[in-house]
A and B are shown apart, each in its own frame.
Chain A
Amino acid sequence: MSKRGRIPNLAFKPKNADDIERALHDALVTPIERFAKRLEERVERFEDRIRVWEGKEDPPADEPERTPSDADGAPSVDQPLPIPSKLSIPDHHSNHPNRVGGEPVPTFILAPPSKGDTPLVGAWTGADAHITPPPPAERLKELWRSFSANKPAVVGLCIVALMFAVAAAAPLLTPFDMAIKQNVRAKFEPPSAAHWLGTDYVGRDVMARVLHGARVSLTMGFLPALCSIAAGMLLGSAAAYFGNWADNIIMRLCDIFHCIPGVLLSLAFVAALGPGLNNMLIAITISSIPSSTRFVRAVILNIVDKEYIEAARACGSSPARVILRHVLPNAIGPLILQTVSYIAGMIMTGAGLSFLGLGLQPPNPEWGYMLAEYQKYLRNAPYLMLAPGIAILIAVLAFNLMGDGLRDALDPKLRR
């Protein structure tokens, strides 16, 4: 019998349904109940302590009495600290050479208490105890100011916006028919007013195919990136938060997936599920979940170690509050960056898989698949492969530029 839980009984032979039910209850419900009870006890203990601190209640009698030591003048538990409305540093500190003009400057600052945190007596020594953080709108404005100073990043953002506009408006710009309707009489036509980029080997308009292809390629970048980060957040934060066996299981699984090169993993999934756009999206998503899980876990562990989380905990914030108000807002920057870089990578991977004929099925237009089709006409019509290739290049470049700009704006320390 280990401390963490019972070793499953391998010789378990159920006689009837009740046996199975009882065993399932033991295995699944009991540990959760035990955990909930422990949590409750801990919260109660904490609340007691806060009440004692605030002087509303006497300390429980069974707690060992702490003798007040006169040497350092530390307040004893029986004598609750007076709660001043405004804390200041004792006067003699202003004689310190570092102080300018005798004005007390805060020596150390914990996270400013946000609304709802129980103020912790004695911890907040700022000269003005209520420095309110700037409102979200202000912070966004600041972010935009530092992002827009980076010209290439703005160009990237504009291209991304333009691509979305084009993808959304593709049916308005050119009918979908032009992208798939074959017209053998008009094949290999050079660029003209009617066909801006010419026509391909069965007379389809290349421009229309590139424009409609943008829809698929953007989907291929966005959807898996978002899904993968979402799954990564779930698994990664579970691993980081619960620690112990949850962390162990999740991370060992990630290690295993990490040993299989990403493209191979996607290929294996496509092989199992069969070619097709949806299957390819699933394959790309699943094969990137391990790396996003690792990433989220690292980000969260990094934040949880910070002093301001300790401060928030010390202020008596609930775990949910710590996660929602303190951990997530600080993790959001790196997560956005990772999503943007995933989008660029996934547009590339998706195009590669389509190029191998494992993605979108013909005759639908997609950049990678167009390249694979036009490869056969490299000798006669080499210009055909320029447009889809350049389209991929611009899409990836735009997302990369945008990502770099965002990184600099979100984390000025990383700027080089």
Chain B
Amino acid sequence: MARYCLKRLALLVPTLFGVIFVVFLILALIPGDPGRIQLGLSATKEAVDAFNLQWGLDRPFFARFFSFLGGVVSRFDFGRSYRTNAPVLNEIVARLPITAGIAFYSVLTVLVLGVPLGILSAMRRATFIDTSVTVYAMFLSAIPIFWFALLLLYVFSLALGMLPTHGVESWRGYILPIAAMSIPSSSGFIRLTRVTMLDVVYQEYIKTARAKGARESSVIWKHAFKNAMLPIINGAGLMFSGLLGGTVIIETIFTIPGVGRLLVTAIQQRDMPVVMGCTIFLAMIFMLIVLLIDIIYATIDPRIRARFTS
């Protein structure tokens, strides 16, 4: 097991370098002079040159890349913001708990909303319940989260006045963003759970469990669901990627000071170090979560573990 973890960790390093390089390359492709873009058309040639010199933008691409990479590797330094001159890392870390909280609770809510409905739909296959759950999932999957967020905002904050319209000063502020993200996303889980459960329930061991007289609840949860769990856990990891993207929009709508909003503001202000820092940081979090999922996978499934321990 330890060997498996080590192997996966070692594989992470080149990928991480690749990610940093790709993001750096994309953001270095900006057409035009970075100083000119920052300072605007009215700035003098001298001011632009001074800006480029100050931020080291006059150096060749690889020189900039390696000094950035060196900073990230040795000091975990993602550079400084053009606008505030504050280290990008501090800005991200200050906002991270909010974004991480929203993403984490959204994943939990999605699982709670999606998995039971998927199981129900699979167990009552080709009945009215199955059809209505499928139709419900179909509609949910087509709802844009930003539109859904606006609807929730109108109904619960403006019309009913039950929840705050913006900010996360109290726990009540988290309810709408999490609901707006997780309810449309749960459709994917309803379908995934339904399909994997349908794969499992026709297996011989389910027949065996029923034949030996196990209770239906025990058949569903202990025999069927336990085997259907792997794709669901995998799906949860992948969904995290979607939710990290979703937080960008949700945080903008609810004016939540999270990493996503930082990123959008930075893009609008063309503050490249912040854009770069946020993208790389979020990608790193995503990579770590995928790694975690794979390790959980190996812990749960003896077949995968056996491949690495033998």
CB-nearest residue of chain A relative to B125?
A416
A267→B263 contact, CB < 8 A: yes
A262→B26 contact, CB < 8 A: no
B146 within 8 A of A: yes
Scan residues 372-389 of chain A and give those whose CB is less than 8 A from a CB of chain B.
375, 378-379, 382, 385, 388-389
A53 within 8 A of B: no
Complex: A269 Cα to B241 Cα, angstroms? 17
B287 within 8 A of A: yes
Contact of A272 among B29, B145, B266 (CB under 8 A): B29
Smallest CB separation, A76 vs chain B (Å): 46
Smallest CB separation, A56 vs chain B (Å): 51
Given A259-B286, A356-B252, A401-B138: A264 and B19 within 8 A (CB)?
no
B248→A267 contact, CB < 8 A: yes
CB-nearest residue of chain A relative to B126?
A416
Smallest CB separation, A375 vs chain B (Å): 6
A375 CB contacts on chain B under 8 angstroms: 150, 253
A268 CB contacts on chain B under 8 angstroms: 23, 26-27, 275, 279
Scan residues 353-376 of chain A and give those whose CB is less than 8 A from a CB of chain B.
355-358, 368, 371, 375
Scan residues 257-291 of chain A and give those whose CB is less than 8 A from a CB of chain B.
257, 259-264, 267-274
CB-nearest residue of chain A relative to B266?
A271
B241 CB contacts on chain A under 8 angstroms: 261-262
Contact of A400 among B15, B138, B268 (CB under 8 A): B138
B205 within 8 A of A: no
Segment of A16-24, A195-203, A391-399 engaged in the interface with chain B: A391-399
A260→B279 contact, CB < 8 A: yes
Smallest CB separation, A158 vs chain B (Å): 16
Complex: A61 Cα to B267 Cα, angstroms? 73
Query: Which of A256, A260, A270 counts the most chain B CB atoms within 10 A?
Result: A260
A252 within 8 A of B: yes
Complex: A230 Cα to B154 Cα, angstroms? 42
Smallest CB separation, B116 vs chain A (Å): 19
B246 CB contacts on chain A under 8 angstroms: 263
A378→B142 contact, CB < 8 A: no
A348 within 8 A of B: yes
User: How many A residues touch B, CB cutoff 8 Å?
Assistant: 44
Contact of B267 among A270, A352, A392, A397 (CB under 8 A): A270
CB-nearest residue of chain A relative to B23?
A268
A259 CB contacts on chain B under 8 angstroms: 15, 18-19, 283, 286-287, 290
A255 within 8 A of B: yes
Contact of B142 among A271, A274, A400 (CB under 8 A): A400
CB-nearest residue of chain A relative to B159?
A382
Complex: A394 Cα to B143 Cα, angstroms? 9
A220 within 8 A of B: no
A340 within 8 A of B: no
A351 within 8 A of B: yes
Smallest CB separation, A117 vs chain B (Å): 38
A271→B139 contact, CB < 8 A: no
Scan residues 108-166 of chain B and give those whose CB is less than 8 A from a CB of chain A.
125, 138-139, 141-147, 150-151, 153-154, 158
B279→A264 contact, CB < 8 A: yes
- Interface residue tally on B, bucketed by range: 35 or more
Smallest CB separation, A308 vs chain B (Å): 26
B69 within 8 A of A: no
CB-nearest residue of chain B relative to A378?
B154
B22 CB contacts on chain A under 8 angstroms: 256-257, 260
Smallest CB separation, A273 vs chain B (Å): 7
Scan residues 200-218 of chain A and give those whose CB is less than 8 A from a CB of chain B.
none
Smallest CB separation, A253 vs chain B (Å): 8
Complex: A260 Cα to B29 Cα, angstroms? 18
B270 within 8 A of A: yes
Scan residues 58-87 of chain A and give those whose CB is less than 8 A from a CB of chain B.
none
A379→B158 contact, CB < 8 A: yes
A344 CB contacts on chain B under 8 angstroms: 142
Scan residues 166-182 of chain A and give those whose CB is less than 8 A from a CB of chain B.
none
Complex: A392 Cα to B143 Cα, angstroms? 8
Scan residues 212-253 of chain B and give those whose CB is less than 8 A from a CB of chain A.
241-242, 244-246, 248-249, 252-253
Complex: A259 Cα to B285 Cα, angstroms? 9
Complex: A394 Cα to B142 Cα, angstroms? 7
A358 CB contacts on chain B under 8 angstroms: 267
Contact of B150 among A252, A253, A348, A385 (CB under 8 A): A385
A273 CB contacts on chain B under 8 angstroms: 29-31
B144 CB contacts on chain A under 8 angstroms: 348, 351-352, 368, 389, 392-393, 396
Given A264-B283, A272-B30: A356 and B147 within 8 A (CB)?
no
A356→B244 contact, CB < 8 A: no
B18→A252 contact, CB < 8 A: yes
Query: Which of B28, B31, B142 counts the most chain A CB atoms within 10 A?
Result: B142
CB-nearest residue of chain A relative to B17?
A256
Smallest CB separation, A259 vs chain B (Å): 5
B245 CB contacts on chain A under 8 angstroms: 261-264
Complex: A382 Cα to B248 Cα, angstroms? 23
Complex: A253 Cα to B18 Cα, angstroms? 8
Complex: A256 Cα to B22 Cα, angstroms? 8
Given contacts A256-B15, A261-B244, 15 further A-B contacts (CB under 8 A): A256-B18, A259-B283, A262-B245, A268-B26, A270-B267, A271-B267, A273-B29, A273-B30, A385-B147, A392-B147, A393-B142, A396-B141, A396-B142, A396-B144, A400-B138
Closest 3 CB pairs of A and B: A263-B245, A256-B18, A389-B147
Residues of A within 8 A of B (CB): 252-253, 255-257, 259-264, 267-274, 344, 348, 351-352, 355-358, 368, 371, 375, 378-379, 382, 385, 388-389, 392-394, 396-397, 400-401, 416
